[in-house]
């Protein structure tokens, strides 16, 4: 229950970044779901926003809560996005994709003026990598990409669903979960992965988050991305 309380506390703290008239990116995952539910409460109380969900799962949740939705076709600039993370380091570099929505999450983050990460205390790390890095791939390229990522030092596993079949993303791709243990140079690894043919997207979000709200017990710590040197 402690982690769930922290998730809700971080989500609640993020609501002050959401204002009337905004286009709001709605994240995916257990922590982001708290934020979506809280935004739904505010909408029912009169808040006027339009949301762009980062997954089919979030779209279903937002619709059930009565949050008005829109699309990137209508708006290519998003005011604020609130999303969770699997790991956050001191530079606010983030691993995302545990829920399988990293591609849409990164697209929405890239179009966002203010990208807010919310997380419980277990997600804060000094160095990224303990959480396996999700890499979304075209199924045809799976053997080749898996070998090339293994050559970078990772233990690579194909993500599977409960029925033991490959997990399929909203865009019809597979995910490789890549266990690096430590990622001392996230930007360098991100470039190597992005350069691999067959890789659609990876779960390293670097230089994207402007604020991270990390809940520790009853307190929520607000962290800002360090200024470039």
Select which of 6, 59, 87, 105 is catalytic. 105
Q: What three-state secondary structure class fits 2?
A: helix
Residue (of 122, 53, 38, 37) closest to 85 by Cα position: 122
Q: What three-state secondary structure class fits 4?
A: helix
Measured CA to CA, the distance from residue 137 to residue 163 in angstroms comes to 20
Tokens of 224: 């800002």
Query: How many other β-carbons are positioned within 10 Å of the β-carbon of residue 202?
Result: 26
Angle at 97 between CA 94 and CA 31, to 5 degrees: 80
177 phi-psi bin (left φ>0, alpha ψ -120 to 50, beta other): beta
135 phi-psi bin (left φ>0, alpha ψ -120 to 50, beta other): beta
Sequence-distant (6+) residues with CB within 8 A of 27 are 35, 36, 54, 58, 81, 82, 83, 84, 105
Task: Say whether 105 is catalytic.
Answer: yes
Measured CA to CA, the distance from residue 56 to residue 72 in angstroms comes to 14
Active site residues: 105
């Amino acid at each position: 229950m402690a982690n769930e309380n922290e998730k809700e506390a971080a989500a609640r703290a993020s609501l002050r970044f959401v204002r009337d008239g905004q286009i709001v990116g709605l994240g995916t995952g257990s922590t982001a779901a708290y934020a979506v539910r809280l935004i739904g409460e505010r909408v029912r109380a009169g808040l006027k926003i339009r949301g762009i969900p980062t997954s089919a799962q979030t779209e279903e949740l937002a619709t059930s809560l009565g949050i008005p939705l829109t699309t990137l076709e209508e708006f290519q600039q998003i005011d604020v996005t609130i999303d969770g993370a699997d790991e956050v380091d001191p530079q606010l570099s983030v691993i995302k994709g545990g829920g399988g929505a990293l591609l849409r999450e990164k697209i929405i983050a890239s179009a966002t003026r203010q990208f807010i990460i919310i997380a419980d205390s277990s997600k804060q790390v000094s160095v990224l990598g303990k959480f396996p890095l999700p890499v979304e791939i075209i199924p045809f390229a799976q053997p080749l990409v898996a070998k090339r990522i293994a050559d970078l030092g990772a233990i690579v596993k194909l993500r599977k669903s409960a029925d033991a079949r490959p997990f399929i993303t909203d865009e019809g791709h597979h995910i490789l979960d890549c266990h690096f243990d430590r990622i001392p140079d996230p930007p360098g690894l991100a470039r190597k992965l992005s350069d691999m043919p067959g890789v659609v997207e990876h779960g390293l979000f670097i230089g994207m988050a402007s604020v991270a709200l990390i809940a520790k017990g009853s307190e929520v710590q607000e962290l800002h991305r360090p200024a470039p040197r």
